[in-house]
Structure 1
């Protein structure tokens, strides 16, 4: 919803409009009448007229598209625009409008130049930078050393606001025990201790057990995503038809239902949920399906977002909701941009849904990513080149690209997107242990546009890595203007925490 502008801001905008119009009269017609020139004037007017909201935030929604750094976001923008029939470059994503303030976020971990999702999400949930592969453990906590957890547990934003009467929700397309959703509630020396901890470890429980404890204690009121295998005894059948993984033989889903918490394992059960009782839902044994492959029985990210906001909005004291598009990250790791883009498009629709369902007056929405990937954009491609396909040359006379493909020095076309490393490497393993050689295969536009196509990469790796590049952060609502400049990632927590305590 739009924030009402102040009279002084409107007056200032009117003054600016008059001054820019006067200036335009002195410019050549080809410039003053340009749509680009007029749009530039309008943008400046909108920025000047923007009012700072200093009210108190009743609700906070932290939306994290995992791995959606500035490069991935750029590619998603083009993809979404092209799906809508545009050239793509001119498209504006829901959080890229003038209604949102924005800044740049530094994502490194305490001990890592290129970050991991666990401590990046943890920093946003606690206000403290953390160590690689750990969640919400600070001080002298050491990765994989259980006995360093005690005394180093960090209090999360969810714990703070829940103690003050707010509801808490988690939505993700990953496993609910995965790094980013777990950062809402878990404290662990190893992000991979999802259903077990090492023998003799008494300082913490596994992440699935911590989630169930959070649901039973009332810390978490709604949790929707994937990962049922970590809540079911090893070998037992999960509600989704797979096999459980828990080595301790515990049936945590039975514990949840015995505590009076609703459980949903498919779309029909999801649609039938009673909004008067706490909710726990998982549609898959592991991560939810990629959006490009999602079957009808799985709720989408937009579906889950709507359900969570409908449920949480019943609390007059407000709520905190973390929403993660986890599979944007996974498709990037696979070097498969087509699936990255489809999940990214659904992500943008979830942001639009959250914005539509809430009021700027009392709801702070922060949209960001935890890190970027080793993604790159090749060549001088013409406007409207399909972002997931091969690069077309720039047209000399038209706005849209030329009809001929750009060629590299080897005489072959190349994709717009490539990765610095990953399973799509052009280097193939030879007979020796470290023997890699090869050259780029020739690819057609049809092959490059296929859903399963892996963008070409350089360094051979089974899974493409993260990047240490900065990510963007966007915000609207109470105190959103605090999102400004280049920020350390942990500052996001402090903006959320300030917004719920200050203002009228």
Structure 2
């Protein structure tokens, strides 16, 4: 009898403990949450959803094709902007507008969308260098290589100098057609994505001669990326170059104007001064800016070329930058469009939200999503400054990241908060987490449970499943969103290298089929 009483007491105690630590909504099967009764979100009954779908159908039926030559191309690249990043950023934006999951990002209002397959010629999961070569030149290539095809050998200088391996970017196609080109980024202007516009290099790390010497490569034999921007083709013809990365343009003996950091160049050259001298030799007016005030003071109408380098390395993030010193991505986008719009023949502009990727690498999802919203504001800026009858705007990503959105958080909740409680270790888990990265933490009793303080810290690395110093990219398809002339060329699932060919068709540039061939 005493044994029975003891067993019953033990069972009751365990039951009460489970009830105290696990809300009733988690007492369900292992796969699906139990529906919460008597909840109708903001009048979302059947009439609401029927009307919502009919409105969407009406809009879809009203889409018309713009089959006319595109004068301009504005190419937005969200580095590492996986579809899960887009979804989470949409919800974050919605938390500010009150629309939550019903919110839309600017490019989600575009008429046409597609998917891009991002693998390269070596790996299922690409890096930004190989990816940039594909979506800018139309040729897939090997990991860590920029502007060279797959016959090039990694870190082989002679391969880099072999013209037969060189690819040409859509920016170069625009320049060949007598039009203008430029780039804007929040990373170093010599980083993998922007370098895809103008560089041909056997290793993406070769941003300056110091990095080449680190790999025992003679910088007198091969030009580094910064040199190619200043002296090379098509780099020296870019009308506007805005981003970070002063370090690769300054000699090591010269302290940085902002933070005193030493430059990286071993050859003693200041390539910023060299860039200004080159423009003078070309008989062109040029301006250089290292802060926001300098940039905004430039006389656009009387300046032919502009270079802005706003940080020693990558530009600061949205949540860490000095707003009086650093221009925002939307501000740089506005400046670049106004600068390039002076060309009556049209222009190509690459705009990269580069720090989305860098924040994901650290599992710093709060920063990554705010970078995505900054990127979205830049897209909105471009929409306000351009005419969809003459400018095609394309938004895509070079690869994804291993960001997951876990079940089953309720609607209208903080995207940075908790999704629920595990029915295995009875600890809370976050709505957002990563497949791998520095967010992996173990404590004596198992998995680390993030605190409220953690989740409010912009530097907090969200939980990951596999420990790594830096998280990897992922190999899932990424989105393509298009608006303007021939945007309807993006309606399916494509190889990544298709993108510049379709844009070139619309703009009548390059060496393949174009709309103008039909005239």
Which TM class, normalised by the smaller chain length?
0.7 to 0.9
The alignment covers a number of residue pairs equal to: 452
Give the helix-richer structure, 1 or 2: 2
Which one of 248, 254, 272 corresponds to residue 230 of structure 1? 248
Counterpart in 2 of 1:305? 333
Considering only aligned residues, what root-mean-square deviation do their CA atoms show, in Å?
Answer: 1.9
| 1:288-329 per-position Cα deviation (integer Å, ceiling 9, x unaligned) | 001111102100000100000011011000000000000000
Counterpart in 2 of 1:167? 180
Displacement of 1:252 in angstroms is: 0.4
Contact 2:63–2:111 (CA<8 Å) still a contact in 1?
Answer: no
Aligned equivalents of 2:425, 2:453: Cα separation in 1: 20
TM-score (norm 1): 0.86
Counterpart in 2 of 1:219? 237
Worse-matched range after superposition: 257-266 or 457-466: 257-266
Contact 1:233–1:247 (CA<8 Å) still a contact in 2?
Answer: yes
Which one of 412, 426, 436 corresponds to residue 441 of structure 2? 426
Which one of 470, 483, 493 corresponds to residue 490 of structure 2? 483
TM-score (norm 2): 0.84
Aligned equivalents of 1:215, 1:313: Cα separation in 2: 22
| 1:162-187 per-position Cα deviation (integer Å, ceiling 9, x unaligned) | 01111111000000000000000001
Counterpart in 2 of 1:431? none
Contact 1:325–1:343 (CA<8 Å) still a contact in 2?
Answer: yes
Contact 1:214–1:220 (CA<8 Å) still a contact in 2?
Answer: no
Secondary structure at the counterpart of residue 237 of structure 2? coil
Aligned equivalents of 2:71, 2:222: Cα separation in 1: 32
Aligned equivalents of 2:229, 2:86: Cα separation in 1: 31
Structure of higher CA gyration radius = 2
Aligned equivalents of 1:411, 1:388: Cα separation in 2: 20
Counterpart in 2 of 1:464? 471
| 1:13-40 per-position Cα deviation (integer Å, ceiling 9, x unaligned) | xxxxxxxxxxxxxxxxx99971221121
Aligned equivalents of 1:316, 1:188: Cα separation in 2: 33
Which one of 79, 82, 105 corresponds to residue 69 of structure 1? 82
Unpaired runs of 5+ residues, structure 1, are: 1-29, 392-404, 429-436
Displacement of 1:46 in angstroms is: 1.2
Aligned equivalents of 1:423, 1:235: Cα separation in 2: 35
| 1:320-375 per-position Cα deviation (integer Å, ceiling 9, x unaligned) | 00000000001100101110011111111111111111001110111000000011
Contact 1:108–1:468 (CA<8 Å) still a contact in 2?
Answer: yes
Displacement of 1:254 in angstroms is: 1.2
Counterpart in 1 of 2:108? 96
Which one of 450, 454, 457 corresponds to residue 447 of structure 1? 454
Displacement of 1:218 in angstroms is: 4.9
Counterpart in 2 of 1:81? 94
- 2:425 is the alignment partner of 1:410: yes
Contact 1:390–1:448 (CA<8 Å) still a contact in 2?
Answer: no
Displacement of 1:474 in angstroms is: 0.3
- 2:223 is the alignment partner of 1:205: yes
Which one of 24, 28, 40 corresponds to residue 53 of structure 2? 40
Which one of 260, 263, 269 corresponds to residue 294 of structure 2? 269
Aligned equivalents of 1:154, 1:332: Cα separation in 2: 29
Secondary structure at the counterpart of residue 291 of structure 1? coil
Map 1:241-252 onto structure 2 (within 5 A). Answer: 241=259, 242-252=261-271
Counterpart in 1 of 2:320? 293
Counterpart in 1 of 2:200? 187
Displacement of 1:215 in angstroms is: 8.8
Displacement of 1:202 in angstroms is: 5.9
Map 1:92-131 onto structure 2 (within 5 A). Answer: 92-97=104-109, 99-131=110-142
Contact 1:427–1:459 (CA<8 Å) still a contact in 2?
Answer: no
Change (3 A) 1:342 1:415: same
Change (3 A) 1:118 1:481: same
Contact 2:353–2:375 (CA<8 Å) still a contact in 1?
Answer: yes
